[in-house]
Structure 1
């Protein structure tokens, strides 16, 4: 961080020096992104949605399942943060999560996160008077089968109270590798 604060009151009154300071502080701000995202993830402990475990514990379990399955960093990262959008949105958490994670994911990874909510519906929509086959709307998509597999292996199975999930700290090096690849993370 530069430690210097600009004095403009609107962008149209800003100067080249203001934007040079902004650009100079960018690496410092970027380095804080992994901890900001994990802080947001920790907030999922405050959600009581009636599931066997809270969404934070579910996220750790999901990531642990992916890690123990030998999945690559992106897949483990997806498992860890796939429900981050629940903190601010119930109805479209998949889309919110996908928007937050998009800068760090491949096109495939982004698509899976964006659509995992409807794909998860296969396992429970029939219990709430919805179409469990709603995911089939996407059957022609390149990532359809990958999303089915990801949801089956890492999301829908991650609700066990007695599962020995890895702690969040275990995943921190992987989080940095995914979020800060150019920084040696």
Structure 2
């Protein structure tokens, strides 16, 4: 059996769902390569900056690595703008949803909120409040998100910065996105509660 017979999920048999589960498991194994392909596609996206979106995220990840961050945070810096194409108004939440099943809650929270925190640097030009992020100032990861934006995100538009290539980060992407999804050994109990 290569295809189910049902046209409504409620009519599926156990054997059909077992077959679908096997197909999904094989599909999930390809996630790291699909992430890498999506990152490559950032080369030809949002324009107007002095670097491509791909160069920006590579530079952010390079800066995170230079600062001695762990692999989870480096990969998070690498994928933090992955949602720019499909979710331009909520790209932070999009990227956070991609990485959430594979990393600790702190990393997910920082990626989920970086767009709001990044407003600090420019939103006043559009009449917005650059201090809107301060509603989270009592959150335990507030300062980490401030630092993420200050040290890596807003600073990574420099065409002369010695940026590492995607191939350098590919093994990290493969390790992170090959983890079992929502494994408490990686995500802890906090992320599992967000299912």
Q: Which residue of 1 aligns with 2:99?
A: 101
1:84, distance to aligned residue in structure 2 (A): 0.7
Q: Residue 40 of structure 2 aligns to a residue in which SS? A: helix
Q: Which residue of 1 aligns with 2:162?
A: 164
Structure-1-length-normalised TM-score:
0.90
1:119, distance to aligned residue in structure 2 (A): 0.8
1:26, distance to aligned residue in structure 2 (A): 3.5
Is contact 2:102-2:179 (8 Å) kept? no
Cα separation, 2, equivalents of 1:98 and 1:144: 16
Cα separation, 2, equivalents of 1:25 and 1:56: 31
Is contact 1:59-1:79 (8 Å) kept? yes
Q: Which deviations, in whole Å up to 9, do the C-alpha atoms of 1:69-119 show, x marking residues without a partner?
A: 221011101100000110112222112221222212221111111110111
Where in structure 2 are there 5+ consecutive unaligned residues?
181-195
* Match status 1:115 vs 2:113: yes
What are the within-5 Å matches in structure 2 for residues 130-169 of structure 1? 130-169=128-167
Q: Which residue of 2 aligns with 1:127?
A: 125
Q: Which residue of 2 aligns with 1:65?
A: 63
1:51, distance to aligned residue in structure 2 (A): 1.6
Cα separation, 2, equivalents of 1:25 and 1:31: 10
Is contact 1:43-1:87 (8 Å) kept? no
Aligned CA-pair RMSD: 1.8
Cα separation, 2, equivalents of 1:127 and 1:52: 20
Q: Which deviations, in whole Å up to 9, do the C-alpha atoms of 1:108-157 show, x marking residues without a partner?
A: 11111111011111122233322111111111111101111111111111
Q: Which residue of 1 aligns with 2:80?
A: 82
Cα separation, 1, equivalents of 2:125 and 2:49: 15
Q: Which residue of 2 aligns with 1:42?
A: 40
Question: Which of the pair has the greater relative contact order for Cα pairs under 8 Å at 6+ separation?
Answer: 2
- Mean Cα displacement is larger for which, 7-16 or 84-93? 7-16
Q: Residue 40 of structure 1 aligns to a residue in which SS? A: helix
Q: Which deviations, in whole Å up to 9, do the C-alpha atoms of 1:17-62 show, x marking residues without a partner?
A: 1111122234321210011122222222222331221211101111
